[in-house]
């Protein structure tokens, strides 16, 4: 009997929500281990793909996902599917592991050339791959800065080294990047500097913009690709180039989304380009109004409303149930999050624009814009002074007490430990049953440390005898 035929594994085949991920990954692994030791049961490719995807969504199970991938292919002879590869690429993007991401992508390209179209890279593959370049941090070469310690060099080596569990993955990917066809977007050697990272990202975008004349064509260029490409240049200290990327959306007939505008405003903040920032801001406001208008035109069809009243929560032919309505709302919420149409992204856009104006010494415009923060956004994310530190510092530098007073009127000074400080203290000292963030939650930790110190003091110290003269 295979694992896939067991009903207890069905919940793990679904995409878990953020709340479910925290507990069900451990359950999936425990269940997988328990069933693996049962002689009458054997895992299938669906089982492996499900457990690998669950582990890849958790940062603390990142290495476990690649260990399962090696076990899946080398021990059981199964082939991962495209969804599993894309999930692993997304995990690499969160981890900033460009080395393993390039290996996964090379394996998918090899499968495409071998005619395995079900594993060939798609639009999601290229999006996740480009985000790996945006999150990757090139290690500092030894000796590049004075006084570098040996321990620091070892730490850098460990961050880019592939764990032992994934060694079989690298051995399996025998494709040498130096013998790949010229149409391959990756360079022969992995990038190690910011310039090399940006050059390879440029190569991938060029590959999507100008498909090769021979061989399989890549997916068409999409907004998600340019979002990751823009973030790559903004992250690696090329904000001016990031602003040039912003113009590529119109050149290729693509519509920016909420993530695009925020990334572009980050670049404007770095170069203090107010004129370009206002252009991005106006585009963002028009986009928000268009999306908001399309949402208000028909939030729920007449048929759904009548069916909901008629069925009173029961499914029928004339309408839908309350559960279906909730599922549709959840689907819309997920789509809104993907395109950046959320109050969180809107508040972030206001924060970036206000701080950009203040950084360019335009305090009146910054405070005027901050005062126009929509009520819905203000209710979801009340303005905090810590989010507008650039404005506050400029008020002090320019010796403008009136502007400082107006800023504090909108963003009151926070008293007591902030939420971030409380969370940091809780991580350090632990919590009491997970209830609240209290200063006394660290007493148990302190007691344990005190007992350890007392025990160490009670152990007799062997004195070193004097050297014989």
- Residue-by-residue pLDDT tens, the chain, 469 positions: 455 544 445 444 444 344 344 567 788 788 777 777 777 777 888 888 888 888 888 888 899 999 999 988 888 888 888 999 999 999 999 999 999 999 999 999 999 888 888 899 999 999 999 999 999 987 766 555 544 444 433 433 333 333 444 344 434 443 444 444 544 789 988 898 999 999 999 999 999 998 877 778 899 999 999 999 999 999 888 899 999 999 999 999 999 999 999 999 999 999 999 999 999 999 999 999 999 998 876 555 544 455 445 455 444 444 556 666 566 666 678 889 999 999 999 999 999 999 999 999 999 999 999 999 999 999 999 999 999 999 999 999 999 999 999 999 999 876 655 655 666 666 566 554 444 444 444 555 556 666 666 666 665 655 555 554 4
For the chain, the distance separating the N- and C-terminal CA atoms, rounded to the nearest angstrom, is 78
Query: Which single residue is written with the structure tokens 């076990």?
Result: 71
Fold of 3-141+158-220: 1.25.40
Residues in a beta bridge with 153: none
CATH 1.25.40, the chain: domain bounds: 3-141+158-220
Q: What six digits make up the tokens of 401?
A: 């007490």
Residues 6 or more apart whose Cβ sits within 8 Å of residue 86? 122, 124, 125, 128
Contact by Cβ (8 Å): 181, 213: no
Signed CA dihedral, 251, 281, 395, 422: sign only: negative
Contact by Cβ (8 Å): 99, 200: no
Contact by Cβ (8 Å): 336, 308: no
Q: What is the DSSP letter of 42?
A: B
């Amino acid at each position: 009997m295979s694992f896939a035929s067991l009903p207890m594994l069905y919940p793990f085949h679904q995409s878990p929500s953020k709340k479910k991920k925290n507990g069900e990954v451990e359950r999936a692994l425990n269940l997988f281990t328990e069933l693996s030791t049962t002689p009458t049961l054997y895992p299938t490719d669906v089982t492996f793909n499900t457990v690998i995807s669950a582990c890849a969504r958790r940062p603390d199970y990142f290495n476990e996902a690649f260990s399962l991938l090696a076990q899946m292919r080398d021990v059981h002879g199964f082939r991962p599917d495209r969804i599993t590869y894309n999930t692993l690429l997304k995990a690499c993007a969160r981890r900033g592991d460009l080395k393993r991401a390039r290996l996964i992508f090379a394996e998918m390209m090899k499968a495409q050339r071998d005619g395995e179209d079900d594993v060939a890279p798609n639009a999601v593959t290229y999006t996740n791959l480009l985000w790996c370049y945006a999150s990757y941090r090139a290690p500092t070469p030894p000796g590049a800065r004075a006084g570098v310690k040996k321990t620091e060099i070892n730490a850098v080596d460990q961050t880019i080294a592939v764990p032992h569990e994934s060694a079989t993955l690298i051995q399996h990917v025998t494709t040498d990047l130096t013998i790949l066809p010229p149409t391959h977007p990756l360079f022969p050697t992995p990038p190690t500097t910011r310039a090399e990272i940006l050059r390879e990202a440029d190569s991938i975008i060029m590959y999507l913009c100008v498909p090769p004349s021979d061989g399989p064509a890549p997916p068409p260029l999409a907004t998600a690709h340019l979002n990751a490409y823009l973030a790559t240049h903004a992250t690696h200290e090329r904000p001016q180039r990031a602003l040039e990327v912003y113009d590529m959306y119109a050149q290729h007939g693509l519509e920016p989304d909420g993530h695009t505008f925020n990334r572009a405003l980050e670049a404007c903040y770095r170069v203090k380009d107010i004129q370009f920032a206002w252009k991005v801001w106006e585009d963002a406001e028009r986009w928000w109004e268009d999306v908001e208008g399309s949402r208000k035109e028909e939030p729920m069809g007449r048929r759904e409303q009548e069916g909901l009243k008629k069925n009173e929560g029961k499914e029928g032919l004339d309408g839908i149930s309350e559960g279906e309505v909730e599922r549709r709302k959840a689907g819309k919420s997920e789509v809104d999050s993907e395109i950046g149409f959320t109050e969180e992204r809107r508040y972030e856009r206001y924060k970036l624009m206000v701080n950009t104006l203040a950084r360019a010494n335009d305090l009146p415009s910054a405070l005027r814009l901050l005062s126009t923060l929509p009520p819905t956004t203000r209710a979801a994310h009340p303005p905090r002074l810590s989010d507008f530190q650039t404005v506050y510092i400029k008020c002090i530098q320019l010796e403008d007490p009136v502007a400082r007073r107006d800023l504090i009127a909108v963003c009151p000074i926070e008293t007591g430990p902030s939420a971030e400080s409380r969370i940091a203290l809780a991580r350090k000292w632990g919590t009491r049953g997970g209830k609240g963030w209290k200063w006394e939650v660290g007493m148990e930790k302190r007691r344990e440390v005190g007992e350890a110190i007392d025990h160490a003091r009670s152990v007799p110290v062997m004195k070193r005898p004097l050297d014989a003269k």
